[in-house]
Structures are given as C-alpha cells and as structure tokens.
Chains A and B, each alone.
Chain A
C-alpha cells in the first residue's frame, strides 16, 4: 500500500521529534545547555511527546485498518458485480438462444397449422363430396322447386334421356317405374306428363289420356297442365272423338286462357268441324 499524504506528514513529525530527542540527549551531556532545560522538564517533554506519538500511531493504525476494510469490501463488491454482470450476459445469451429457438418453433408450428388447415380443408371437401351423394338435392323442374334424392333425380333423368333419344317404349317403362317407386316425388306431375307423351308417341292414346288426366287431377296448376289438356285433345282426335276433342279444347281455352296451348287450341278449333283427325304435328308436349 502506498503511503498517503497525512501519513507522510506524520512521519516528518516523528522525525522532528527524534531530532529533538537526540539533541536533548546530546544537550544533557553538555553542561552548556544544562541550564536551559532542567532534567525533569526534559523528561516530561519526552514522555509527552512519546504519548503523542503513540496516540498518533494508534490513530493512524486505526484509520489504516478502516481503509483496508473499506478497500476489501469494495473489491469484494467489485468481484460480485463482475460476476453478476457475467451472469447477466449469460442470461442474455441464453434468452437470445431461447428466443431464436422459440421463433423457430413458432415458424414450424405456423407451418404445421397451415398444413393441417389444408389437410382439413381437403378432407372436408372429400367428405362433403361423399355426403352430397347421399343427401337430398334441390332441383327446379317445370317452374317448381323441391328436394329429391340422388337416385330419384337419376331415375327421372334416365326416363327423360330415353324420351329425348326417341326410345318411347323405354321411356314409358322408366316413367311408369318412377311413378311406382316415388309416388310422392316432386317430379311426379312431370313424370305423368312424359309418360303420357311416350304413350302418345307409341299410339297408346287411352293410356296416355289417363296419365294426362292424372297429372291434371294431381296438380291442375302445373306448368305442363295446359299442354297436357292439349295432348288429351290430340288423343281424342286420334281416337276419332271429335266432339270430345272440341270440348276439351274449349275447356282448355277457358281454364288456361293465357297459355300457349290455348292459342294453339283456338287455331285448331275451327278445323275440328268434320271428323277428319287433326294434323298430328301439334304434339304439344315434345318441347321441354
């Protein structure tokens, strides 16, 4: 430890005291000075000086101890501070690593979520596709909307397909079967209509009339009803029932005055004067 400034000055004091002491000793042996200091006086001075030196030394030592203690404490604190700083740095490093790992995990999770969502969507799509095959479907036919089973729709369209292809006996079978299997179907009136038309085409006029009538009984306000009445008239003409046909046409004009069929009926009525069958071109129901 380096001596501090007060310590230096204290040393100077001690030196001075020593010089004084020496000169005193020297003075004692010199008679010339004997008269200046008495022995007792000198001794007392020495004792006093000694005492003061002791006090000073004690004081100094005490202070030095205190200082040393302070210094020790400071350096201890310093070491502790440094240690905690290193610890803090380690913690920061760890946090940074943890943070990076968490970011990485977050990225992976986000990606997994996206993948899962996509898979879920795909699976849901596939499921919906499969379920849709089993679920009733909303269809719109001849201005009416209703729910049908998949098979029901398929069977109806099979009949219609046959009719369009000109396979009228096949269509008859298909529509007859359809009506038997789905008597309450929303398609039923249309099925009667097409069944009647198929029968007309194969010259089964009586059966055809029956089915057109079934349609009219079941739903007189059906979009196909006017055409069905016209078709009945056609059947009657074919069966040479001119009277019946005229009656039917008049009924048609009365019942469905605004229909296209009524217009046709008006044109045809004047030509039904005699018993010759009407031209068979007016097979009203053939257009969809």
Chain B
C-alpha cells in the first residue's frame, strides 16, 4: 500500500528526489541486443558511399534500428564499393545466407545539404524492392537514416516502422531535472525543459507536437502542456491539491488527469478547448484512482485504483460510467499502457517484491511476464504496437529498454550511468524537415513561476 501511494501520488517527487545519480547532460546511447528471436530476417547493409565524411554514419544507424526491432539479424559481409545504383550479384549474397541487401550513398550538395539515397534488394527472389532519396540538412541526417530503416522494415515485414518516431524521458543531474525529446533509438536528445524541481509523467499528444507533463516548479504538482517545436507552454491544471498523471484522448480534445481538489485522488477530464470549464469528475471511490490512459479507440479509460483493497487496473467508459476490473493476477498492478492496435495491455506487477513488466492479451486475458529485471517502470508502446519502451534498473544502473512483446529481444537505450526515467513513446509523425525533429527548450529558473 505504501509503495503504491508513494509511486502514484504526489509522493513521487520525494521518491524521485531520492535519486542522486549523475547523468551526462546529453546521454549517449548504445544498442545492446540480448536474446535470440526465432524468425529473424537475415539482412546485410553495405556502408553508404560517401558516409565517412558525414556527421552521421547512416548505415550504422539503419543497422542498429533494424536489429533493435528484433525482427532482423545482420549478416555482416565485407564489401568494397556498393551503392544504390549498383547491380549487385545477388547470388553471392544468397550464398552467404542473407535475405535482403541495402546499399546507398550520401552526397553533400552545393547548398550544404545532403542527398541521402538508398536501394533495397530482396536477395532470395532476386528482386529490386525500390529505394528513396532525401535532401536533408545535417541536423536531419539521423532522421533520414531512420526513414531508410522504416522503409526497409515496411517492405520486409509489411508493417510500418517506428524508427523515425520520437521518445520523451526525464533525467536528473545534480539538482537539475530535465525533460528530453530524443529519436526512438534514444539518441540525438534535445532538452525540452529544465527545472530545479521534479518533472514527471511526460506524455505525447496524439499529433506528436505537444507533451503534457507534471512539474513541481511551483513547489506543488501542476500540469503543463508544452509545444515541442516552440517551447511554448500552458498551465492546464493547477487546482487545489495535487494535479497529476495527464493522459491525452486519441482525438487530442481531452486530457484525463488525477486531481485531489475534492479530497482523495480521483479521475477528471479537462476539455482542452475550454479550460475555463469545470473539470468533469469521472470516478467516485473511497480509494485512490489514478494513472488514467485512453484506449486507442477512445472508448475506454484504463486506470489504477485501490478501491478493492489493493492497486489493480480498471477501465471505465471514457465519458464516465461503471468501472470494471481488468487485472486479477497478483495484488499489485499499476501503470497501464495500451497498444494502438487495441490488442495489448502492458502494466507493472509486483511479484514477490519485484516490479515486473507484464503484457496481457486483452481478448483472452492471458498474461506474459516480459523481463528478468526487477525494477521495471512506466511501459509505453511503440506506435506500431510491436515494441514496448520502459525504464528499469540493470546492473544497478538506470536504463531505458525496449522489448518485443514476446520478451525475446531486448535492447538497451542506455546512458553512461544516469538517472533516466519516465519514458514515453511518441506517435507516428509526418515527413522529413520542417523542424519536426528538433525540440525547443524552456528553462525554469528559480522555483516559483506564476
């Protein structure tokens, strides 16, 4: 009970303050793939012609992306010169056991931008699977590499890739709390907010342009909505008591929040088009109701409540109604996350004192435990519903991890030892350029604003 209150209540701040780990100002991440999947596509990628003189090594980024997805296995082959215009002898690659081949080039053009091109071959069928080219600034080189990986992923699996999406997370360095926006591989992080007081529960808007989060900068938890590209923000919930756990409705019109303005912590919705209106109260329980999250179809809000004596996950119609309990295994289930395809519910379960990431197939109610770590937190799904992002401790170090839904492939998005938590995976985003890739920072100086 105590742990639960501590975790989900305002107490979060105290809990977070308890971490005195050092994080580098900008964490450098590395992918570590552990575990072996059974049905991985063996593929090869040639170094992109001309990429050695370029700030980003495109082929290495594509390689890491594909490996991290768990659906691809690299067959490293030594090649000298191969680019998108080559006519490779696919027979040789077939013999080497590779099913797909990627080659490309990076060229700096007159205006200083880069021309990134690539082509994909199906080695087995001896077929050209097409290619693309991007004209990008140096800042968008990584994004173009992710787009290459997305293309390859979609051609070979038939599903959309998530490599060009973004994630948000929070770090704490000395007494600075920072909210970061990074590529889906954890790299190229840019600060969106920095504050001497804790920042928690960042969550992406459905259009990927805004983040809602809880900030303690005014010494008490209030909810902000922050436009990532400009750094502009609005205070959306600052009621008496605590304001926490924001969650966007899929249409972006409503924000579900936990407020304690009427006594205990209960769920409310805010109409983002009419913030002057009274929040609509969704739950009335004797317990604590918190951690709301919308189902992808917007019909339900899943949340955590201890109304039944122990924290469990419930769901209720998004417009209000009778809650229905969803989790029945164990006595402690928190932090619900729903997949965009509506099939899966991920959550954290305390089992023998260990906090473990679980995934439930909603149709059958079958639950699978995904990790061997013991301090898992804050799961969120990739927008293609194939990967889960979560925070955990590995070898006593804070880490962000991704895992496939069968738990077979895990990748660590890890800093050089730092306090990294509260990750949230953003939605699919639009095309390249237009500054979509960068975040603008807002700095909170001192402790009291507004």
Contact = CB atoms under 8 A, between A and B. Distances in A.
Given A111-B325, A111-B328, A104 B286 contact: no
A100 B309 contact: yes
B307 A100 contact: yes
A99 B285 CA distance: 12
A97 to B, nearest CB: 7
Contacts of B309: 97, 100-101, 103-105
B325 A107 contact: yes
B308 interface: yes
Interface string A105-137: 111100100000000000000000000000000
Contact of B286 (A99, A108, A111): A99
A103 B328 contact: no
A96 interface: yes
Contacts of A103: 307-309
B433 interface: no
B366 to A, nearest CB: 13
B303 to A, nearest CB: 15
A115 B386 CA distance: 29
B287 A108 contact: no
Contacts of A108: 328
B306 interface: yes
Contacts of B312: 104, 107
Interface string A147-178: 00000000000000000000000000000000
B107 interface: no
A104 B328 contact: no
Interface residues of B, number: 10
Contacts of B328: 107-108, 111
B310 interface: yes
A120 to B, nearest CB: 17
Contacts of B307: 100, 103-104
Contacts of B287: 100
Interface string A78-109: 00000000000000000011011101111110
Nearest to A107: B325
A111 B286 CA distance: 22
A99 B306 CA distance: 11
A103 B309 CA distance: 7
A98 to B, nearest CB: 9
Contacts of B306: 100
Contacts of A111: 325, 328
A99 B309 CA distance: 8
Contacts of A101: 308-309
Nearest to A100: B309
Contacts of A106: 308
Most chain A beta-carbon neighbours within 10 Å: one of B287, B306, B325: B325
A100 B308 contact: yes
Interface in B302-346: 306-310, 312, 325, 328
Nearest to A98: B309
B308 A107 contact: yes
Contacts of A100: 286-287, 306-309
Interface string A242-281: 0000000000000000000000000000000000000000
A96 B288 CA distance: 13
Contacts of A97: 309
Contacts of A96: 286
B237 to A, nearest CB: 27
A172 B100 CA distance: 63
A97 B308 CA distance: 9
A111 B326 CA distance: 9
Most chain A beta-carbon neighbours within 10 Å: one of B306, B308, B328: B308
Nearest to B286: A96
Contacts of B325: 107, 111
B333 to A, nearest CB: 12
Interface in B4-30: none
A108 B306 CA distance: 14
Contacts of B286: 96, 99-100
Most chain B beta-carbon neighbours within 10 Å: one of A97, A105, A106, A107: A107
A114 to B, nearest CB: 10
B210 to A, nearest CB: 36
A21 B309 CA distance: 81
Most chain A beta-carbon neighbours within 10 Å: one of B286, B309, B312, B328: B309
Nearest to B323: A107
B33 to A, nearest CB: 38
A105 B308 CA distance: 7
B1 to A, nearest CB: 10
A101 B309 CA distance: 5
A101 B287 CA distance: 11
Contacts of A104: 307-310, 312
B47 to A, nearest CB: 56
A56 B325 CA distance: 77
Nearest to A112: B328
A284 to B, nearest CB: 56
B287 to A, nearest CB: 6
Contacts of A107: 308, 312, 325, 328
11 contacts: A96-B286, A97-B309, A99-B286, A100-B308, A101-B308, A103-B308, A104-B307, A104-B308, A107-B328, A108-B328, A111-B328
Interface of B: 286-287, 306-310, 312, 325, 328
Going nearest first, the 5 A-B pairs with the smallest beta carbon separation are A104-B308, A104-B309, A100-B309, A101-B309, A107-B325
Given A103-B309, A104-B312, A107-B312, 11 more contacts: A100-B286, A100-B306, A100-B307, A100-B309, A103-B307, A104-B309, A104-B310, A107-B308, A107-B325, A107-B328, A111-B328
